[in-house]
């Protein structure tokens, strides 16, 4: 099957063509980061309007780049949640209209399932079952992928998502939006042992909590500001990042041990993080666990991962109809 994927859940307008769930033919991503930068975060209304402007152009470009026409497409898959409702509706409505007009199969896709499927595009040999850490701007989940389209959530954040924590700390340090890539880069020049920020482990639970860490970093910044001591931004970035990464890696490895799984996948925007990748490789070796992560271009929001997820949903007998609505708080495994 040839799948046209469409993604518009946040601030990326994207369309992609994927063959058979794993073969990437094109992946066009138009990011609105520059547009939202001056507001320090994504402005929903602005995002929706930009999606409307771009969606048709991006879809056409994805078809052209793949060397196909709409005629060659079998399935159209679009994100219907979670995300910003006005943003989701643009991609979803476009996909519904296109599939109705061109008589194509239509599949609504969970954005988080999409992030997980990015690993299938990047690693042809990867097959379930495995444990996957999904770390993004809005989510931090440890998911057991029992089979294609079959998920068990083993752990989730009880407050902030990992990416959200990066973005908030970056804002407090005056580093702009989005914060993850900047902190990642600055941390390379910093001393991770300069400050010992708390690792919140919640006993043996596989759940996460990042708000305590965030408060601790903010208090540290405020205290130094108050007494007029110069903040070494690189050190704060490195020490904060180390605290986040420690918890993410430890818990995911514990989850894999619990499931007797020798495979861990990592997905979502934060999966681009260089220290996270490094630490996973180090720790996994000790436990003889194999680590998979997609290249950065497939970690960030993109439609190729949505097309891949749509393929696996479809071959597992799940199709959507024209009444499908956007669901901003859609959960993984919920239909």
- Whether 179 and 169 have beta carbons less than 8 Å apart is answered as yes
The piece of 46-54, 63-71, 125-133, 266-274 that touches ligand ATP (CB under 6 A) is 266-274
Q: What CA–CA distance (Å, rounded) separates 327 from 335?
A: 10
Q: What is the DSSP string of 143-210?
A: EEEEETTEEEEEEEBSS--HHHHHHHHHHHTT--SSHHHHHHHHHTTS-TTSS-------TT-S-B--
Q: What are phi and psi of 82, to 5 degrees?
A: -80, 165
Give the residue with the Cβ less far from ligand ATP, 111 or 279: 111
Which DSSP helix (H) or strand (E) runs through 31? strand 23-31
Hey, which residues between 34 and 53 contact ligand ATP (CB under 6 A)? none
258-297 footprint of Fe ion as x/- string (CB under 5 A): ----------------------------------------
Closest approach of Cβ 312 to ligand ATP, in Å? 18
In terms of CB distance, is 65 or 156 closer to ligand ATP? 156
DSSP calls for 244-286: HHHHHHHHHHHHHHHTT-SEEEEESGGGG-HHHHHHHHHHHHH
Q: Which of 91, 128, 178, 294 binds ligand ATP (CB under 6 A)?
A: 178
Count the Cβ atoms, other than its own, within 10 Å of residue 297.
13
> What is the C-alpha separation between 245 and 249, in angstroms, rounded?
6
- The interface region with Fe ion, picked from 26-34, 54-62, 300-308, 318-326 by CB under 5 A, is 300-308
Residues ≥6 apart with Cβ < 8 Å to 171: 40, 177, 179
Site string for ligand ATP, 132-171 (x = CB under 6 A): ----xxxx-----------------------x--xx----
Q: Are 305 and 5 a contacting pair, CB within 8 Å? A: yes
Is residue 160 involved in binding Mg ion (CB under 5 A)?
Answer: no
CB of 262 to Fe ion, least distance (A): 27
113 binds Fe ion, rule: CB under 5 A: no
Which of 94, 136, 209, 261: binder of Fe ion (CB under 5 A)? 136
Distance (Å, rounded) from C-alpha 15 to C-alpha 4? 7
At closest approach, how far in Å is the CB of 136 from ligand ATP? 3
From the list 199-207, 241-249, 297-305, 317-325, the region that binds Mg ion by CB under 5 A is: 297-305
Question: Please, are residues 161 and 141 in contact by the beta-carbon 8 Å criterion?
Answer: no
Site membership for Fe ion, residue 301 (CB under 5 A): yes
| Close Cβ partners of 127 (under 8 Å, ≥ 6 residues apart) | none
Is residue 272 a contact residue for ligand ATP (CB under 6 A)?
A: yes
Rounded distance between C-alpha atoms, residue 108 and residue 326, angstroms = 9
Return residues touching ligand ATP (CB under 6 A): 9-10, 82-83, 111, 115, 136-139, 163, 166-167, 178-181, 184, 268-270, 272-273, 300-301
Return residues touching Mg ion (CB under 5 A): 10-11, 301
Return residues touching Fe ion (CB under 5 A): 136, 301
Which residues carry a binding-site annotation for Fe cation? Answer: 111, 115, 301
Which residues carry a binding-site annotation? Answer: 111, 115, 134-138, 167, 180, 184, 273, 301
């Amino acid at each position: 099957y040839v799948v046209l994927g469409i993604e518009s859940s946040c601030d990326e307008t994207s369309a992609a063509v994927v063959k058979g769930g794993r073969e990437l033919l094109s992946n066009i991503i138009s990011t609105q980061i520059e547009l939202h930068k001056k507001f320090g975060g994504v402005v929903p209304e602005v995002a929706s309007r930009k999606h409307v402007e771009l969606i048709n152009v991006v879809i056409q470009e994805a078809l052209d780049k793949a060397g196909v026409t709409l005629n060659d497409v079998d399935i159209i898959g679009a994100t219907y949640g979670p995300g910003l409702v006005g943003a989701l509706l643009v991609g979803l409505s476009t996909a519904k209209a296109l599939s109705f007009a061109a008589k194509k199969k239509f599949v609504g896709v969970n954005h988080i399932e999409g992030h997980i499927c990015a690993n299938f595009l990047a690693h042809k040999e990867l097959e379930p079952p495995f444990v996957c850490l999904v770390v993004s701007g809005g989510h931090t989940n440890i998911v057991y992928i029992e089979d294609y389209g079959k998920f068990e959530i083993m752990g989730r954040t009880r407050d902030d998502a990992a990416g959200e924590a990066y973005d908030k700390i970056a804002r407090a340090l005056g580093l702009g939006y989005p914060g993850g890539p900047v902190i990642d880069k600055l941390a390379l020049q910093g001393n991770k042992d300069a400050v010992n920020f708390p690792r919140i482990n919640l006993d043996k639970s596989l759940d996460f909590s990042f708000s305590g860490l965030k408060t601790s970093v903010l208090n540290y910044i405020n205290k130094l500001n108050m007494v007029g001591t110069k903040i070494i931004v690189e050190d704060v970035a490195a020490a904060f990042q180390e605290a986040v990464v420690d918890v993410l890696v430890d818990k995911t490895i514990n989850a894999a041990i619990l499931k007797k799984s020798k495979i861990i996948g990592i997905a979502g925007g934060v999966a681009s993080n260089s220290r996270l990748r490094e630490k996973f490789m180090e720790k996994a070796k000790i436990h003889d666990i194999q680590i998979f992560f997609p290249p950065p271009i497939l970690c960030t929001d993109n439609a190729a991962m949505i097309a891949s997820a749509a393929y696996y949903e479809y071959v597992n007998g799940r199709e959507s109809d024209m009444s499908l609505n956007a669901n901003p708080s859609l959960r993984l495994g919920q239909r």
